[in-house]
Amino acid sequence: MCRFLVVVVVVLQCLLFHTFALTASVPNSNDALSLLAFKNSVSSDPSNLIQQWNNATSSTFCNWRGVTCGGSGRVTALRVTGLGGGQLSPSLGDLYELRVLSLPGNMFCGEIPAILGNLRHLEVLELQQNNFSGKLPFQMSYLHSLQLVNLSGNALSGSIPSCFVGSVRTVDLSNNRFSGKIPVDGLTNGCDSLDYLRLSHNFLIDEIPRQIGKCRNLRYLFLDGNILEGGIPNEIGFASELRVLDVSRNSLTGRVPKALGSCLKLSVILLTDLSDDEEEENEGSLGYNDSFRGEFNAFVGNVPHEVLLIPRLQVFWAPRANLAGRLPGRGWTDSCALRVLNLGQNYVSGVVPESLGICRNLTFLDLSSNSLVGYLPSQQLRVPCMVYFNVSNNNISGTLSGFGNGSCGSTGTPAAKDLEFLEWEGYNGTLVFLFGDF
């Protein structure tokens, strides 16, 4: 019986090989058909990117522009950008060996086909800057090999699948219309792989999950431009690899947790943001046009010294964040990396500490509209070397000198035109100022 089976198998294999050899000169001609179906669903190709793809050359589809094949002769990567719209063909779901599907900026519309969930080997999914709408199909959760997902700049809605927040390394779902809560399932089940999470500019509600602290390898966290409430959770202090944290433009309250100061690798923190650069950020996106949405974060309590004094911190951006208290008078060290400090329009009191001058890279300082008093240690702060300096609307006094004396090195003595931002009385190399206008 066994012997018979073996024979049958051999005969079948021969037959299959034979049939195959007769109908196609390359392996897996089905991949060529899938690609041609993809081409057919594209509505225009203004730059002739895939024009050469046609059935007369389908035996050489591995050489088609944008197509990469693996050793098996099957398509492993498809990278096309610049097409003029159309739907994404479900035929791509048959490219079973696909590892990279990179189709940014093609003006594709309609829904993302559920059948893409068949692509079990897919590692990179880049569909950003298109016009995809509708919900993400739940079949996406079958993509167990995914490492990078970028769906930024579409019009996708519904909730964020929990499979995307945890096991995938790099996730960018920014500039869409996702709603609901930040899913915690993925975080709870361990999110050791998560390195980059950008959910900016959606309609996410509820709180920042405290489970975010379980993401021990998370380096970049962007949650700006949502409708998040509550405080920044203390548990964020466990995310010890964190480099960049942006929670601006939400409806957050509460104290800025001291625990954030345990994230010793933090380099950039944005607690609030009043700048109006949304259009720039959304350039190229056909989908959701997020015009300026305002800043509604209103924290309570004092400027967190533990955070400001993180040695690697380069940017602390918290204008109109409702923060009170004083600036740290001690604790600054000569390894201070601070470049940008924006605490404008808060309730900061006391003096501008002389010791802040030890932060030699500080060239952007906005302390305007606070309750600061006393003399500004302008010599120590090297104010003439700064590119932005605004201490208006305080009760500070002092003398500024040394403008344009060429001692600022490569950071450059700002030219007179760059000094427009200075709220001053006059400029002739020796600037005397008194900002007492409350």
Ligand X SMILES: *[C@@H]1O[C@H](CO)[C@@H](O)[C@H](O)[C@H]1NC(C)=O
Q: Report residue 192 as tokens.
A: 């050791």
Binds ligand X (CB under 6 A): choice among 392, 419, 433, 435: 392
Interface with ligand X, residue 337, by CB under 6 A:
yes
Stretch that binds ligand X, among 7-15, 22-30, 230-238, 361-369 (CB under 6 A): 361-369
Binds ligand X (CB under 6 A): choice among 154, 176, 202, 368: 368
Residues 237/213, Cβ–Cβ less than 8 Å: yes
Interface with ligand X, residue 78, by CB under 6 A:
no
* Residue nearest ligand X, Cβ-based: 402
Interface with ligand X, residue 34, by CB under 6 A:
no
> Which of 377, 361, 353, 354 is CA-nearest to residue 316?
361
Footprint of ligand X on 149-168 (CB under 6 A): 150, 152-153
Interface with ligand X, residue 71, by CB under 6 A:
no
Nearer CB in complex with ligand X: 43/253: 43
Q: Whole-angstrom Cα distance, residue 153 to residue 176?
A: 6
**Residue indicated by tokens 């001291």:** 258
Nearer CB in complex with ligand X: 2/56: 56
Binds ligand X (CB under 6 A): choice among 291, 294, 409, 417: 291
CA 88, chain centre distance (Å): 25
How would you label 361-391 residue by residue, b for 16+ Cβ within 10 Å and e otherwise?
A: ebbbbbbbbbebeeebbbeebbbbbbbebbb
Element (DSSP H or E) covering residue 134: strand 131-135
Q: Report residue 201 as tokens.
A: 């500019």
Task: Give the neighbor-by-neighbor strand order of the sheet with 430-435.
Answer: 349-350, 371-375, 395-401, 430-435
Rounded to the nearest whole angstrom, what is the least distance from the CB of residue 40 to ligand X in the complex? 8
Interface with ligand X, residue 363, by CB under 6 A:
no
> Which of 59, 72, 65 is CA-nearest to residue 25?
59
Interface with ligand X, residue 23, by CB under 6 A:
no
Binds ligand X (CB under 6 A): choice among 31, 94, 123, 172: 172
Stretch that binds ligand X, among 5-13, 66-74, 101-109, 249-257 (CB under 6 A): 101-109
Binds ligand X (CB under 6 A): choice among 24, 115, 315, 373: 373
* Full DSSP string of 38-74: HHHTB---TT-SSTT--GGGGGGGGGSTTEEE-TTSS
**Residue indicated by tokens 């005969």:** 11
Binds ligand X (CB under 6 A): choice among 87, 139, 251, 395: 395
- Which positions lie near ligand X, rule CB under 6 A? 55, 104, 107, 109, 128-129, 131, 133, 150, 152-153, 170, 172, 196, 279, 286, 289, 291, 335-337, 344-345, 361, 368-369, 373, 379, 382, 384-385, 390, 392-393, 395, 402, 405, 407, 421, 423, 426, 428, 430, 432, 436, 438
